[in-house]
Amino acid sequence: MIASARRDPSAFAPLYEQHFQSVYAYCFRRLRTREAAEDATTQVFCQALAALNKYEHASFRAWLFAIAHNVVTDLARRQSTVARLEPAHDPIDTAATPEESALERESQARVADLLALLPEDQRQVVEFRLAGLTGTEIAAAMGRSRGAIKMLQFRAVRHLRELALDSPQADIPEAKHV
């Protein structure tokens, strides 16, 4: 499939279809606005398509998320200046009431705020986990050893636990029961 896509961009479509949802979701979580997530997702696949000849990873998904990480890092840097203007939110269960939707958005924002308190490499591991990557894929995406990833994520979770304990405001919301 990748060999075909190298010759013909149209053949990239199945790879796009397969990974679009997870890449978009990852970008949306990191950037927190629909417009930025769309822009980032487009850039991720454009860059992947442009660099397909250089692809030599064991895992295409890991390689794609490595690109996604670079893209959202760039966009997040510029977005930091406008976060206060446009804190967008994840989609809300339409069964929720208006007030619950507002509360739920705040809860999701708290998760994002909590992750933002982690050192960048720890945060990155958790973000990749939330995107559904396995430990092996994360190691490939971050160019780190498997053992290093294990340590990073262990430290990250312990760090999150401390943060959640230290700050009631930063508590991680329970699952919604609607």
Partner 1 sequence: MSDSERIQADVLDRWWDSYVDRKPAPVPNGQSDLTHLIRRLHEGTTVVHADSVLSDRLWQRVHAAAAAPPTSAPARWRLARMRLAPLAAVLLAVVLLGFAIASSATVQAQARRLGCRIPVFGIQDCNGLGLVATQPVSVTQGDLTLSVLYLVSSTQQTSLRMEVRGLPADLSSGRSPLDDPQLGPEQRAALQSTRVALRTDLGETLEAEPIASSDPNGAATYATLRALHAVDQSVTAPRLTTEIEWTLPPLNTATRSVEIIATGLYSWSVRVAVVPLQQAGLVSATENGPAITRDGISAWVDGVSRDAGGLLHVQLAGRASGGQLVGFGEVEPDSGVFGRALWDDSGQPYFDDARRCCPITDHTTGDTYFQELTFPNVPDGTRLRMLEVPYVMVRQQLPPAVLTIDLAGHAGEPIPLDTDLRIGHDVLRVVSASVTPDGALLLELDFGDWPNGRRLGLPLMISVNGQPIDPRSVRTVTSDLGNRRGFARQLTERVPLPEPAQSQLTLTISSPGVTYRGPWLLPLPATGLDAEL
Footprint of partner 1 on 97-156 (CB under 8 A) = 97-105, 107-108, 110-111, 126, 129-130, 132-135, 149-151, 153-154
- Distance in angstroms (rounded) separating the CA atoms of residues 157 and 169: 18
The residue within the footprint of partner 1, chosen from 24, 62, 118, 142 (CB under 8 A), is 24
In the three-class reduction of DSSP (H, G, I as helix; E, B as strand; rest coil), residue 80 is classed as: coil
> Which residues in the 25-64 window bind partner 1 by CB under 8 A?
25, 28-29, 33-39, 41-43, 45-47, 49-51, 54
Q: Is there binding between residue 6 and partner 1 (CB under 8 A)?
A: no
The residue within the footprint of partner 1, chosen from 2, 4, 70, 116 (CB under 8 A), is 70
Q: Is there binding between residue 76 and partner 1 (CB under 8 A)?
A: no
Q: Which residues contact 173 (CB under 8 A, 6 or more apart)?
A: 107, 108, 110, 111
CB 153 within 8 A of CB 126: yes
Q: Is there binding between residue 95 and partner 1 (CB under 8 A)?
A: yes
- Distance in angstroms (rounded) separating the CA atoms of residues 54 and 124: 24
